[in-house]
Structure 1
Amino acid sequence: MKSSRLDGLIDRVHMKIGAKGMRGRLYVLIITVILFLLGGLVLFSTLVALANITRNRTEQLTYSVSLQGRFIDQWLAERILDIRQLAALSEMKDFDLSGMKQCFDVFLRNQNEFYSMVFVDADGIARIDMTFGPGKDLSDREYFIKGSRGKPYVSDVLIGRNSGRPTVIISHPVYKDGKFHGVVFGPVSLDALNQVVKTSGVGGEGATYLIDGHGFLISSLKIPEHSGETPYLARGSQGRLQPRTRIMEDAGRGIEPGGYYQNYQGLEVMGVYSRANRGRWLVVGELLRSEALRPFWTLQAVILACALLTLVAALSIAYRLARFISRPIESLDRGTELMKSGRYDHRISPDEMQYAPIEVRSLCRSFNLMAETIEQHIARIQTMATTDQLTGVFNRRHLMEQGKTMLEVCQRASQPCSALMIDIDHFKKVNDNYGHPVGDRVLRHVSGLLADGLRGSDLLGRYGGEEFVVVATNADKHQAGVFADRIINRIRSTPFREDGIELNCTVSIGAAEFRPDHDGADIFESMLSEADQALYKAKNNGRNQVVVG
């Protein structure tokens, strides 16, 4: 009886919505089942998504802050390396005060982290101070004490006794023949550290800040204009800010933060921390609760949209089938358009063709094979167009084009640029006595030695025959002469040995530096011409030498 009443109710509902036939009633049944399933799925996914997104956002924030801590450590290591390289210079070891000052001048001009440099002798007296002048006794400073024990040092934030400026000191000892000669140190402003922190923040509404070993702020915070001392933010005796949030208490006790808390502005945030500077500094990352949960609400919208799309799909199988068939074809069409525009590296992902008909999948494989073949041919053509096939270095055409470009860059940057014209001495005798195959191998031998001795910014090309050209950026003619001497010594000390043949190879080199008074269109050719004239003199003077034009 109850079953009959239920059947009657269902029948009346069907009649009311117009589902009179089997197809209509089947649609109603499918939609009803889908609605129940989707409702349960939405409820379940809401609970799971909230937990997962909170965990994922915490993990992302933890990774970002840990990465930033490593970034700060790497930045500090690079600054220590800067100071270490200065400490290793002969001017420091030989106590050449004039040379030290020149080195410091060059160093300060070419970087923006350190705002001054100081050399302190073994007695703790500042012999060179680029800001306050020499003569101050610094023997009681921690960086000098550490340096006298042979250790580099990175200080906490210090307030300069003379300047009153908050800084971080980075120092390194100077030793010669095992004897302590003094300490080189440089102060880094908090502006530089602020810039380091800003380069890898957490993004969005998040904030990252750096705390020193005493709990004071190193990097800047977004402080409202009306904000004074609050329950979450205090000011020290020297005006320095000291956050007093729960995460600072957790860090002090060495426990992992969890959940949400009030930040220095009284806003509810998620926060994590990591250590930097050998554990002495604290990197704190915070994310507003609203920002942390934004993916949750986005996911909820996506889930509801998917539920709606599922309902539409249940009523529109034909539309889904058309879309199912057309999507792989659209991928192929998009691939051909990209290839027409020069994107020969584009490949159609097999995932896009996972449910495509077998004919379309075969066409996808053929397209990818064709694209790979074309890309290989294009790469081979580009290599052949720029490379000397015998020696493997750049050919003359590419040398001239790239050399002009490099010279223009040096001109705009007001940097020197030089050219070395290199000729293998008595190469004709090699061909005459041993044949051209051996001569070709000698060319490859010499070009390989030249390539091995280049800097990353230099350009090497075969100018013609047994002549090569090196374009050395950021090098005046004197530096180019030193570079050329190294090339001559390297080639002279590395004979050609192959198939029982041993040949002592030497080269003659002409070096020239570009002059701004040359005509702009021909300045590169003029520099090569001067280098060629210098090469001519080197050959006339007996070969196996360098002449600087």
Structure 2
Amino acid sequence: MQNLYRILRVSTLKGRLRLWVGVLIVTMCVLIVLFMSLLGKVIKERETHSALREAIELQRMFIDKWKSERLADIEYLAAMPGARALNLEEMRSQFRMFKLTHTEFDTISFINAAGNTSLNLDGPFDTNVSDRDYFRAVRDLRKPYVTDVMIGRVTGKYIVGFVAPVIGGDGKFAGAIIGAVELTTLDSIMNQFRFGANGETFLLDRDGFRITKPRDRFDAPRITVQYQTDIYQRAVAGLDAPKSYLNQAGERVYGAYAWTSDRQWLLVGETRTADVYKPYFNLFGVMALITALILIASYIAAMLLTRKMIALLRHLLNGTKRIREGRFGYQIDPSIIRTAPAELKELSDNFNIMSAKLATTMQLLEESAVIDHLTEVYNRRFLMNEGTKIEEAAARAGNPSSILLIDVDYFKQINDTYGHLVGDRVLKHAASLLVACVRHSDVVSRYGGEEFVVLATNCELERGCELAERIRTWFISSPYRDEEREIAITVSIGVAQSRPERTYGTNRLEDMIERADKALYRAKNRGRNRVECDDPEPRRAE
């Protein structure tokens, strides 16, 4: 997936959202089009096969009826008194009158019992047909007969003969009457049937040879090419027609077939698949166009719908950038999300809540990093980091600074006597006394254990010693008190002033602290509860 984003150069949420919305819409449209296409194709195939079968069945019924009517016509002539009496003149008259009303017949002939043509209205009489199958069939079976396609010996044309036996007055076979119908008549009959704009129906004989010619192709050969297409093979086997197949011309077609009732002829109907699907393809094109329009409209609607989401996410992103820059507590304006979806409103509200909590937490963390949690004055870390900056700023301004290192006397005894909880309260009390004694510009910090440091700027050594003495006196007059006890507190203080040159440490603050520590050490060694300055001459407590 990441490779896809990289190839498409899509890195933002906005771009990815638009990409997937577009993919989703395109996929849905393609699936709908494919489903409708496949469904339409199946429906169209079924409709085509059903229509073909119905059309072919109607045509089969028509052909069967036409054959039975023509055969009945010849039987009628064979049953006439003139024919039964073998009266050729009367038969001639009857034949002529018959042809006037039955134009389908090309010739009508009477064949005597020996197979010789005794009467033919349109040709010579010396033709012998005793070797023909149809003559032997009517002679032996004494039933009417329809011949296969044959070449007439009189006309030399392709014909179909309708033959009926003539039974004499003595009940014996006296001959046969044959009515010949040229295949052009069948052509005109079959050309009346059409399936679709370019579909056609045609007749095959039982051997698969085409009897009728294609429409508008009167020069096409007849009874010369045997059809071996799928539909003929299936018709011979009695199977259903295939969904589609290649016809004799190599075109993909749909087809249906039906045998005539005597299974002498095979009626076949074919229509090209291209013609069947042409309207369908036109409809498919319209559907594709409509789908494309829907796709564009849906994409635009999706973009409009997601614009507010993207805008709110942009505000959220901006908020996270502000927090990353250190602007904790940044809030998203509620008016921006007033019309946003409920989920995004909740997300924005949660962001504002978390941002406020983060600001509070960061404030607490910052305070805990520089404030001693017990005494609530600055811790040693703050003193060493910020105190150095404060002292250096004072030095650049030409102002001296002083350090007071303060130690609570006998604090271990307080812990041992009253317990650590009381000891903690004593330290907190000591810190509050220091804060009350110094200026707001002075820095009070807990240096460690029971030791405190006061950094006083713009304060030379003499004033620093005075401040230390005031603190010492204030502690004497302000013992720790609670409901159960009162504990006297004294402090020892070492004082040092900043110098241009350093004797100890890496900066002047460390140098002052070290010198103040040595002064504090002297104060402890000299009895505690006193102030010692960074000076050879000690200052005694009054």
TM-score, length-scaled by structure 2: 0.45
TM-score, length-scaled by structure 1: 0.45
